Amino acid sequence: MAVKDVLIYPDPRLKEQCLPIINFDESVQQLLQDLVDTMIDAGHSVGVAAPQLGDLRRAAVVDVSKSKLGKKQENHGLLQMVNPEIIEKEGTQIVREGCMSVPEYTGNVTRSESIVVQFLDHNQQHQVIRCDGFEAIAIQHELDHLDGFLFLDRVSSLKTDLFRRKQK
C-alpha cells in the first residue's frame, strides 16, 4: 500500500461530509492500509482520517499506544474504523490539539472525557468499545474529520486558544 500526502487546510475537501462505506471491498482495505502507513510515516501522528488523504469515505485509524500520552493509559492499540459513530459521551475536558492538516497551529478544544464508539473493523467485524483519556480525544478528533470539522472549528476563541507551533 502507500504513504499518501496529507491535505493541508484550507483545502476544501477537508470541510466535506464523508459518505458511509456500503461495499466493503478491496478499495476499503487499501484505504485502511494507506491510512495506517501515512500515520506511521508521520512519526508523531496518533490518527488520520480518510478526508485528510482526499478520500471522502467514512474511515479513520487511531493508535495512541506509541505516544507518551497513550502509553500512560490503557488503550486499544491500532483501531481501523469503518463507518465509526460515537454512541455515548461522558464528561468534558479542555485539551490542546494539533493536526497534520493544520501543521502550523495547535489549539485548546473541549472534548468528552469518555466515549463509546461503534464501527466495523478491518475484518468487517462490528465493534463497540469504550475509550477514555487520550484515546477518546484522538478518536473524537479523527471522527470530526469525517463530518468536515477541524479542531479549528472547535476552538472557542481564535484569539486566546490558538497557538502557533514552534518551528524546528
Please list the active-site residues.
142
CA distances from 6 to 11, 24, 51, 59, 113 (A): 10, 23, 9, 15, 28
Neighbouring C-beta atoms of residue 46, cutoff 10 Å: 23
Map residue 26 onto helix, strand or coil.
Answer: helix
Peptide bond into 103 cis (omega under 30): no
Q: Are 62 and 77 in contact (CB under 8 A)?
A: no
Q: Work out the end-to-end distance of the chain between its first and last CA atoms, rounded to an integer number of angstroms.
A: 30
